[in-house]
Structure 1
Amino acid sequence: MKSLFTILLTLATFSLFSQSNFNGKAIYMSKTSMDMSRFDKMPEQRKKQMMARFKSFLEKTYTLSFNKTTSSFKEDVVLEGPGASGPSWGRSNGQGSIYKSLTDKKMIEDVEQFSKRFLVTETMEPLAWELGIETKKIGNYTCYKATLVKEDTKIDWGSMFSRRGNDQKKDSTKTKAAEPEKKLLNVTAWYTPQIPVSAGPDVYWGLLGLILELNAGRTTMLCTEVSISANEVLEIKEPTKGEKVSREEYTVIVKRKTEELKERFQGNGRRGRERRF
């Protein structure tokens, strides 16, 4: 039954592809919840204040521009008011984007990190989506469910501020530190064959229609607006400014810099406690 559903859906989708040119834009609202267990000893009032400061980091808006073969996913820039606070590394500088080309099977993440701009380039390997038969309505579109389990390579910025890191460091003097286990991420996508483009938010793609909702770990992205034109030609340019690195090279750079920041943060905390005594 599932195989028959997949075949029929594929035939219908390719039929639409052959008949129409699709250019469009989709707006996504993104919300990420924070693991508050690492702050379990913090007073509730302090927790609320901290969450208010992190709001710009945890709640964002993105625009996905797409046509048949290319797409660009970019964070919308929100100007902060006077006296705004929060982590500067959580804010967009208007440059970051994720570019995908189905023709070249190439994905480029244009990102500025640690005061340097990178073009993280990787080959678009097919994602191992499992197609379901569940449906739901998102706006006027009928969406189908797909699930995926993948390695979680996102930066855990919250761990920089956790005191548990100090405990782990003390324990490492007794036993040899083991290689960290790979974290797995459960992903659920809702896509609509009514917009037959293999595009989606963030790094996700490869389904038989535009992804309108995505749940990946603690992050949910929901499409709130779609505009499509069959007449205009939407130009989506490949990013070219920045240092070109592979995903593996970028991961090493981020890991090294993150450890440096973590050591600096924890060192400042220790010096502060020493001054109090």
Structure 2
Amino acid sequence: MTRFLLAMGTLLFAMPALAQMKEGKVVYERTMQFQMRLQNVDPAVANNLPRSRTDRFELSFTPAKTLWESLPDMEEGEGGGGPGGGMFMRFGGDDYVYTNLETGVSVAKQELASKNYIVTDSLRKLAWKLTDETKPILNYKARKAVAQRIGTRFVMNMENGEMKRKEVADTASITAWFTTEIPVPAGPEFNGQLPGLILELEMNAGRMVYKAVEISPKVNAGNIKEPKGGKSITAADFALERNKMFEEMRRNMPRGGPGGGGQRIVIQGN
């Protein structure tokens, strides 16, 4: 009888450690490396162009829904600009994204030309290949998965005082490290795709990297809800609105002075 009670006590003591975390919060750091091509550019301008940028985001999750939010900017100088802090650039617009993991629908709040939009989209799943490679991340065993995303991206050119925006084909190689110890298919960029929480994500050979830096089991599930306060629009229509805005900016941008100076700057993100 004594042995039975000791065994039961040991089992009860171990149960909390065996329990899987199914809701909580994760803080991620995202670092973007910018590819640049400079031709006849003033060295003072070139030195102030950002080579990278690091931002922080918080993911709140339950088994049924997630909320992705941007956190306050990191200290100036950690990727925000070049020496002297003479240039600041903000990249990315998905600062508040709600995802319903059960229906496969995401709702994002985005700003465009000082207007707020509520953008609805469906999750698009990639063909992931799960590998046997593992590594520890924040005391969790993470497993490696790889995939490719075939699509398009835009390249911005400033040539002879005129901004040009060109759409080019893009195939992104993606490596994700996820843990089944937190069996919620959530994480940066790719919700609802892997059988566990994504703790690390690398795209295009490190041009964009997300890393989990903090994990907490505490979350207020009631705060995970769809954004409000903007024009409701589909993702496809929002892309059209954004393209119109960039085209208008290009047309209205003043051209360079006499001779144009011949300066050419191309900045590419992910």
Instruction: Note whether the superposition's TM-score is higher than 0.5.
Output: yes
Higher strand share: 2
Moved more, 102-111 or 61-70: 102-111
Query: What are the within-5 Å matches in structure 2 for residues 122-201 of structure 1?
Result: 122-152=121-151, 156=155, 159=156, 161-163=157-159, 181-201=168-188
CA displacement, residues 114-172 of structure 1 (integer Å, 9 cap, x when unaligned): 2111111112233322211111221211111112212445665xx1x532896989xxx
User: Paired residue for 1:64?
Assistant: 59
Contact 1:73–1:202 under 8 Å retained in 2: no
User: Paired residue for 1:14?
Assistant: none
TM-score under structure 2 length normalisation: 0.73
Mapped pair 1:244 → 2:239:
no
Q: Please identify the structure whose Cα radius of gyration is greater.
A: 2
Name the aligned partner's letter for residue 57 of structure 2: Y
Name the aligned partner's letter for residue 264 of structure 1: N
CA displacement, residues 66-89 of structure 1 (integer Å, 9 cap, x when unaligned): 1111101111123988x9764465
Alpha carbons of structure 1 residues 257 and 193: separation in structure 2 relative to 1, 3 Å: same
RMSD over aligned Cα atoms: 3.3
User: Paired residue for 1:97?
Assistant: 96
Displacement after TM superposition at 1:49 (Å): 1.7
Name the aligned partner's letter for residue 63 of structure 1: E
User: Paired residue for 1:35?
Assistant: 35
Alpha carbons of structure 1 residues 275 and 42: separation in structure 2 relative to 1, 3 Å: closer
Displacement after TM superposition at 1:209 (Å): 0.8
Structure 2: segments with no counterpart, 5+ residues = 1-18, 77-83, 262-270
Alpha carbons of structure 1 residues 225 and 117: separation in structure 2 relative to 1, 3 Å: same
Higher helix share: 1
CA displacement, residues 38-90 of structure 1 (integer Å, 9 cap, x when unaligned): x2443555323222xx76xx221100111111101111123988x97644654
TM-score under structure 1 length normalisation: 0.72
Secondary structure in 2 aligned to 1:263?
A: helix
Secondary structure in 2 aligned to 1:46?
A: helix
CA displacement, residues 211-238 of structure 1 (integer Å, 9 cap, x when unaligned): 0111123211111010014xx6522111
Alpha carbons of structure 1 residues 125 and 80: separation in structure 2 relative to 1, 3 Å: closer
Contact 2:154–2:168 under 8 Å retained in 1: no
Contact 1:21–1:68 under 8 Å retained in 2: no
User: Paired residue for 1:113?
Assistant: 112
Contact 1:98–1:202 under 8 Å retained in 2: no
Displacement after TM superposition at 1:269 (Å): 3.2
Number of residue pairs the alignment of both structures matches: 233
User: Paired residue for 2:202?
Assistant: 215
Contact 2:48–2:86 under 8 Å retained in 1: no
| 72, 81, 94: which one aligns with 1:77 | 72
Taking only the aligned residue pairs, the percentage that are identical comes to 25
Q: CA–CA distance in 2 between the matches of 1:117 and 1:168? A: 25
